[in-house]
């Protein structure tokens, strides 16, 4: 358990030598352990975690998805042992040399760091496309950047750090990371006035996309999900039409809404192969298809739809580059209201229950862990 303090933090409280943390050792092998509290070196920030969200990718990693563990010819992405969690909010308790100036923070600042810690030296970083960094260290997957399912987290010197308003409720602040991803996906869609936009999937990311797409003033904003409770929440956030593919022919309905043509924009955030096929059927010729999901399995489609039959623009969307300041402002000003998205707040000790709740999705939308 906790041992004697080695230094004093921003609040005047002692920083212990050890902390509780969830540690990934392998698929289905996550353990709550006592581990050393990291120390802030030159340019680095040590922060005390207020809360950390459980992402669908955390669940897929826990369950042993090939894309994380290197199965079926995929490159190995997880470097175990590592502390998972990339949806965190924290408060600065110690600063390494020049860290305050480098990151624009001080002791006591409430902070968040972008998911990715770019290397700054690869082709993509040098070209300003840091979110596609070739090294690609993301909190919670590589042990050089341990994540937020712990009492403390260290931001490396290369981290991208932002201050968060003290008065923002934790259930909003913890959604900054997923909302930044949602904003980026919506921006990739290049929504125009009057567009019929379909968002497939009303999980935390899809609901954030609803809020962001609403700000683009589409003609009709449609949301699809298999769970009616999520569709109801989507309506409160800004959806004009909410449909369940399990109970109605959503392709026919969207064609009906558009004079038989199909939607202008389809954003895929359901993480299921059928959602991809559905979107290719639903979208009009010359439409814009945005793929955001991380899949458990390969998806097979008729590529002639993309090229010869419809000449679609296909866009990928990864992480939330340049979107953190927007996400913070939208949540703080109430321009995007995601109240109700956080459904469960659990202590760190109940991390396995949190993972199970997210994996099922029947009772939860967003689950957060509080150390």
Same domain, 213 and 297: yes
What per-residue confidence (pLDDT) applies to 4?
41
Same domain, 224 and 273: yes
Q: Would residue 229 count as lying in a domain?
A: yes
pLDDT tens by residue, 236-283: 999 999 999 999 999 999 999 999 999 999 999 999 999 999 999 999
For CA atoms 158, 162, 166, 171, give the dihedral sign. negative
**Structurally, how many domains does the chain consist of?**
2
What per-residue confidence (pLDDT) applies to 74?
81
Q: Is the pLDDT of residue 10 over 70?
A: no
What per-residue confidence (pLDDT) applies to 8?
61
Q: Is the pLDDT of residue 3 over 60?
A: no
Same domain, 19 and 160: yes
Q: Would residue 57 count as lying in a domain?
A: yes
**CATH number, residue 302:** 3.40.50.720
Q: Would residue 324 count as lying in a domain?
A: no
What per-residue confidence (pLDDT) applies to 368?
98
User: Average pLDDT over the chain, rounded to whole?
Assistant: 95
Q: Would residue 129 count as lying in a domain?
A: yes
What per-residue confidence (pLDDT) applies to 298?
80
Which residue, 283, 299, 316, sits at the end of a domain?
A: 316
Same domain, 124 and 157: yes
What per-residue confidence (pLDDT) applies to 116?
98
Q: Which residues of 190-200 are buried (b: 16+ CB within 10 A; e: fewer)?
A: ebeeebbbbbb
CA dist., res. 231 & res. 281, Å (int): 21
pLDDT tens by residue, 153-175: 999 999 999 999 999 999 999 99
Q: Would residue 327 count as lying in a domain?
A: no
Band of the pLDDT at 6, cuts 50, 70, 90?
low
Q: Is the pLDDT of residue 9 over 70?
A: no
**CATH number, residue 14:** 3.90.180.10
Selected residue with higher pLDDT from 21 and 4: 21
Band of the pLDDT at 11, cuts 50, 70, 90?
low
Same domain, 186 and 267: yes
Same domain, 90 and 215: no
What per-residue confidence (pLDDT) applies to 2?
40
**What global pTM score does this model have?**
0.95
Same domain, 348 and 300: no
Selected residue with higher pLDDT from 297 and 13: 297
Same domain, 74 and 37: yes
Same domain, 232 and 249: yes
Same domain, 21 and 148: yes
Residue 37: domain span: 7-175+341-370
Q: Would residue 322 count as lying in a domain?
A: no
Which residue, 316, 333, 361, sits at the end of a domain?
A: 316
What per-residue confidence (pLDDT) applies to 251?
98
Same domain, 159 and 236: no
Q: Are 68 and 30 in contact (CB under 8 A)?
A: no
Contacts of 318 (CB under 8 A, 6+ apart): 131, 132, 184
Q: Are 160 and 128 in contact (CB under 8 A)?
A: no
Q: Would residue 141 count as lying in a domain?
A: yes
Q: Would residue 333 count as lying in a domain?
A: no
Band of the pLDDT at 297, cuts 50, 70, 90?
confident
């Amino acid at each position: 358990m906790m041992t004697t303090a080695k230094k004093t933090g921003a609040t005047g409280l002692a920083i212990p030598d050890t902390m509780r943390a969830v540690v990934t050792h392998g698929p289905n092998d996550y353990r709550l352990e006592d581990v050393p509290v990291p120390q802030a070196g030159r340019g680095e920030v040590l922060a005390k975690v207020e809360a950390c969200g459980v992402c669908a990718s955390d669940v897929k990693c826990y369950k042993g998805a090939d894309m994380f563990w290197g199965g079926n010819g995929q490159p190995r992405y997880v470097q175990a042992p590592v502390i998972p969690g990339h949806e965190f909010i924290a408060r600065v308790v110690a600063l390494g040399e020049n860290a305050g100036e480098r990151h624009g923070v001080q002791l006591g600042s409430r902070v968040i760091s972008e998911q990715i810690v770019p290397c700054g030296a690869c082709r993509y970083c040098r070209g300003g496309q840091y979110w596609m960094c070739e090294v690609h260290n993301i909190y919670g997957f590589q042990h050089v950047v341990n994540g937020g399912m712990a009492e403390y987290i260290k931001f490396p010197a290369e981290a991208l750090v932002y201050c968060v308003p003290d008065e923002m409720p934790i259930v909003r602040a913890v959604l900054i990371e997923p909302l930044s991803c949602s904003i980026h996906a919506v921006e990739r869609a290049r929504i125009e006035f009057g567009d019929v936009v379909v968002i497939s999937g009303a999980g935390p990311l899809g609901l954030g996309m609803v809020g962001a797409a609403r700000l683009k003033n589409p003609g009709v904003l449609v949301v699809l999900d298999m769970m009616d409770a999520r569709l109801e929440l989507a309506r409160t956030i800004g959806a004009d039409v909410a449909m369940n593919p399990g109970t109605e022919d959503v392709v026919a309905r969207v064609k009906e809404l558009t004079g038989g043509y199909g939607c202008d924009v389809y954003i895929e955030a359901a993480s299921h192969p059928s959602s991809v096929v559905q979107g290719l059927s639903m979208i009009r010729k010359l439409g814009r298809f945005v793929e955001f999901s991380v899949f458990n399995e390969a998806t097979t489609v008729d590529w002639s739809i993309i090229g010869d039959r419809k000449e679609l623009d296909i866009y990928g969307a990864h992480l939330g580059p340049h979107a953190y300041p927007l996400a913070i402002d939208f949540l703080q000003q109430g321009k995007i209201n995601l109240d109700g998205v956080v459904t469960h707040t659990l202590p760190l000790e109940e991390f396995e229950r949190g993972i199970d709740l997210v994996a099922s999705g029947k009772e939860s939308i967003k689950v957060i862990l509080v150390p």
